[in-house]
Structure 1
Amino acid sequence: MAAKRLLLFDIDGTLVNTGGAGVESLKTTVRNRFRTEDDLRDIEIAGKTDRAIIRDILRKYQVDPTEENITSFAREYIDRLPFSLSRTHGRVLPGIQQLLERLKAQPHIVLALLTGNLQQGARLKLRHYGLWDFFEFGAFADDHHDRNELGAFARKRAQLKHGHHFDAADIDVIGDTNHDIACGKAFGARTIAVATGSWSREQLQGCTPDFLFDDLSDAGGVINKLGW
């Protein structure tokens, strides 16, 4: 039997393109709370955790980013997300459905999430696109505002669920930004970058991931190349 392998997937720009639903919900929340139109272009969003993004927004508007204030903003953001998802024209990214179906059928593969989304936001997005049930568990922005700390949460949950210690060499982090690559490197995982998000192939190459794909459209080829 093949050794167990833990695959940790990012969501936005890796599994799905929501058409900007998350940003739309953030902007609407800002509009409601601060009575201003803000395109949030001065806030780094791609690859950051929701909690880190909310902290930056609150500081921009000179609001103390206390736990209470972050939680209150996050709750309103989540409440607005279903409407944004219904309005934006998003999609599952090329090859993802087929890739997940093939991986789910392999008993040695453990599919999980490692994402900057809050858990409820991740659930809403992936249920909207029919992907939530592929994943057993995840590490989310609820766990820590710093994405580089999320690997430890994912490993602990994997061990508790499977009764198996996953060495860093047995873990893959799959994502579309520098933050995904840095997160994987932070705990010694193999890093797999995919240029289907806001970062170009050239930008991702500069972050020295272990593997780099233009997209994951060739599910069989990806599985063979990565030894999944």
Structure 2
Amino acid sequence: MRRPRLVLFDIDGTLLSAGGISVRALAATLHEVFGTEGAAASYDYSGKTDPQIVRDLMSGAGFAEAEIEARMPAAIDRYRTRLLAWLRPEDVTAKPGVGPLLEALAGAPRVTLGLLTGNLEPCARAKLAPLGVNHYFPFGAYGSDHEDRYRLPAVALERGRSVAGVAFEGADLVIVGDSVHDVLCGRGLGVRAVAVATGKTPRTRLAEVAPDALLEDFGETAAAVRAILGDGEG
């Protein structure tokens, strides 16, 4: 019998593209709250939580840690409000094969789906809504839960246990994402990491951090399911 699996998906670059709306909304917010967007145009957003992005950009712009901390709540609140106001359904495009993959995984025995993303929870749900896939994800771990993405797998593990009523262990988790941080963030728990080269991180860079599986995209549903669940291995 297959071991139970708790499969956690990243969002941006993995499940969808939102047309750069997050970067535009964040840059406008940073101008409003801090008076500068810093190096927002050249920053590597892949695998970062929204609060970490704010901290990195404003630290790089010369703001002291105490000042960033003091303005962080306003920045996060205004960014969330702005993104939800600016996001249009036509901005959101699913990555290849996402719909059939989620349907197949949701129908697989002993599999629970969830999210692990640097997005704030309301922003995550808003991005997924135009694709009609929110129902596949009864829970998630978000950038609004912790600024450090490497803390999120443990949050997801506890929530998954509660939602599914299954005593998942770290080795039962699968994290699917398009960035180096998606691959690395669960290593301490012994999770299975599946990288997909549909985001901004080159396939060669993803290979360097040795994911358990590396996919070009989700276009071949059966192959993607096998890679994610580890069927036929061990």
Give TM-score, length-normalised by structure 2. Answer: 0.89
Q: Counterpart of 1:110? A: 112
| 2:56 matches 1:52 | no
The one-letter code of the counterpart of 2:63 is Q
Segments of structure 1 that go 5 or more residues without pairing to the other structure are none
Cα RMSD, aligned residues only: 2.1
Counterpart residue number, 1:26: 26
**In the aligned structure 2, how far is the partner of 1:16 from the partner of 1:196?**
9
For 2:212 and 2:7, locate their aligned partners in 1 and report how far apart those are by CA, in whole Å: 14
Contact 1:112–1:135 (CA under 8 A) maintained in structure 2: yes
Aligned to 1:94: 96
Give the direction of change, closer, same or farther, for the CA distance of 1:34–1:205 in structure 2 (3 Å limit). same
Count of aligned residue pairs for this structure pair:
227
- Residue 118 of structure 1: how far off its partner (Å): 1.0
CA distance, structure 2, for counterparts of residue 202 and residue 90 of structure 1:
27
After superposition, the Cα gap between the structure-2 partners of 1:36 and 1:156, relative to the gap in structure 1 and judged at 3 Å, is: closer
Match of 2:136 among 128, 134, 140: 134
Answer yes or no: is the 8 Å Cα contact 1:19–1:88 preserved in 2. Answer: no
Check whether the contact 1:21–1:88 (CA below 8 A) recurs between aligned residues: no
Alpha-carbon distance, 1:129 to partner: 2.7
Q: Does 1:227 align with 2:196?
A: no
After TM superposition, the structure 1 = structure 2 runs for residues 1-228 of structure 1, keeping only pairs within 5 Å, are 2-36=2-36, 40-59=40-59, 60=61, 62=63, 64-66=67-69, 68-86=70-88, 89-225=91-227, 226-227=230-231
TM-score, scaled to structure 1: 0.91
Q: Which runs of 5+ in 2 are unaligned?
A: none
1:35 Cα deviation after fit: 4.7
Contact 2:171-2:189 within 8 A present in 1 as well: no
Same amino acid, percent of matched pairs: 37
Q: Tell me, what secondary structure is at the counterpart of 2:87?
A: helix
CA distance in 2, matches of 1:125, 1:61: 32
